[in-house]
Amino acid sequence: MKKFTTVNDIGNLDQAVKEALEVKNNRFGYSDLGRNRTLLMVFFNSSLRTRLSTQKAALNLGMNVIVLDVNQGAWKLETERGVIMDGDKAEHMLEAIPVMGSYCDIIGVRSFARFEDKRADYDEEILEQFIKYSGRPVFSMEAATRHPLQSFADLITIEEHKLTKRPKVVMTWAPHPRALPQAVPNSFAEWINAADYDFVITHPHGYELDPIFTQNARIEYDQDKALEGAAFVYAKNWAAYTDPNYGKILSTDRSWTIDSRKMALTNNAYFMHCLPVRRNMIVTDDVIESDRSIVIPEAANREISAQVVLKRMLESLK
Ligand code: AN0
Ligand code: CP
């Protein structure tokens, strides 16, 4: 595998989940594969889970790991070509990226949507430059439009917990005080569509996502109705995608918060969230602490999704 940025890069999903469960049962079975190989993780944004789980996955495979927080201690990077660099940015990405590539074998990149220019975000300008100029296999650790390591972990978690072949999965928007990217919901939709579950998306009017990701999923504007009979409730906030409101908060309506009344509408559903989560905005304390909440095993599966991706990338280096 030379690139991991979308669901298409993982190939057959049944195969990928099977490999994930094998890795989970035998985490150290490939500890020679990464010997003398170096992973560089480049963060343009904060992280707890991605940072730790991806590093852990690399260590399981015997790799060395270097982490760069671009905004802490590195030179400020210019991203646009043709700019006269007389401002605060000391270095251009076009030098920085191949230099980073020269110190490692595989690169992971976290670069969120900046909400300054929708086209630049949805063209994945930062991630694509790493793919083009690093000379190394590149994987996304959440880019502007997708978070595939999260979605892969979500899929593994659903496969581990589902009681029927084609469970009803409901992705619901929930309120949040900051404008958050669409990467997690886009990506979740992309993977759940590929997995062919019974998939419903619910959100207030104005929060429609790019149809490239939602495809044929049922969109239901009545959250209560959407939740009826759900086996999995996947909560997430995102800012508006559609013009002219791209990147804006249109609602902080706390009647969309997932509470025990909402969960009672479901078929004893499991509650999922990628974390970090704001309690009593996205979900109430009692729901996230309930025995139907699987947010911790979901986060734990991030180590597994990262290990499958790194394993496949290491195998393709040989
Ligand atoms: C980020 C987001 O919503 O994309 C990261 C989630 C994994 N969340 C926040 O910034 C709070
Ligand atoms: N879910 C997730 O990616 O968390 P972090 O932002 O903490 O890495």
pLDDT of res. 147: 99
Q: Which two tokens stand for residue 278?
A: 């704001």
User: Based on the domain organization, do 9 and 46 belong to the same domain?
Assistant: yes
Domain that holds residue 261: 150-298
Quick one: pLDDT band at residue 221, thresholds 50, 70, 90?
A: very high
Distance CA 231, CA 275 (A): 20
User: Based on the domain organization, do 154 and 293 belong to the same domain?
Assistant: yes
Residue 73 Cα to ligand 2 midpoint, Å, equals 21
Residue 145 Cα to ligand 2 midpoint, Å, equals 15
User: Based on the domain organization, do 7 and 137 belong to the same domain?
Assistant: yes
User: Based on the domain organization, do 133 and 166 belong to the same domain?
Assistant: no
Q: Is the pLDDT of residue 318 over 80?
A: no
Domain CATH code at residue 128: 3.40.50.1370
pLDDT of res. 118: 98
User: Based on the domain organization, do 113 and 182 belong to the same domain?
Assistant: no
pLDDT of res. 189: 98
Kindly report the protein residue whose alpha carbon is nearest to atom 11 of ligand 1.
Answer: 276
User: Based on the domain organization, do 294 and 306 belong to the same domain?
Assistant: no
62-120, pLDDT tens digit by residue? 999 999 999 998 999 998 889 999 999 999 999 999 999 999 999 999 999 999 999 99
pLDDT of res. 150: 99
Residue 82 Cα to ligand 2 midpoint, Å, equals 34
Quick one: pLDDT band at residue 262, thresholds 50, 70, 90?
A: very high
| Pocket-testing residue among 44, 45, 48, 110, ligand 2, by greatest number of atoms within 8 A of Cβ | 48
User: Based on the domain organization, do 192 and 95 belong to the same domain?
Assistant: no
pLDDT of res. 36: 97
Quick one: pLDDT band at residue 294, thresholds 50, 70, 90?
A: very high
pLDDT of res. 163: 98
User: Based on the domain organization, do 202 and 278 belong to the same domain?
Assistant: yes
User: Based on the domain organization, do 14 and 98 belong to the same domain?
Assistant: yes
What average pLDDT does the segment 203-226 reach? 98
User: Based on the domain organization, do 72 and 101 belong to the same domain?
Assistant: yes
Quick one: pLDDT band at residue 182, thresholds 50, 70, 90?
A: very high
153-181, pLDDT tens digit by residue? 999 999 999 999 999 999 999 999 999 99
User: Based on the domain organization, do 72 and 142 belong to the same domain?
Assistant: yes
Domains contained in the chain, number: 2
Amino acid residing at 250: L
pLDDT of res. 155: 98
What average pLDDT does the segment 199-205 reach? 98
Residue 49 Cα to ligand 1 midpoint, Å, equals 11
Quick one: pLDDT band at residue 5, thresholds 50, 70, 90?
A: very high
User: Which residue from 191, 111, 105, 190 is spatially nearest to 155, judged by alpha carbons?
Assistant: 191
pLDDT of res. 33: 98
User: Based on the domain organization, do 123 and 198 belong to the same domain?
Assistant: no
Give this prediction's pTM: 0.98
Three-class SS of the chain: CCEECCHHHHCCHHHHHHHHHHHHHCCCCCCCCCCCCEEEEEECCCCCHHHHHHHHHHHHCCCEEEEEECCCCCCCEECCCCCCCCCCCCEEHHHHHHHHHCCCCEEEEECCCCCCCHHHHHCCHHHHHHHHHCCCCEEECCCCCCCHHHHHHHHHHHHHHCCCCCCEEEEEECCCCCCCCCHHHHHHHHHHHHHCCEEEEECCCCCCCCHHHHCCCEEECCHHHHHCCCCEEEEECCCCCCCCCCCCCCCCCHHHCECHHHHHCCCCCEEECCCCCCECCCECHHHHCCCCECHHHHHHHHHHHHHHHHHHHHHHHC
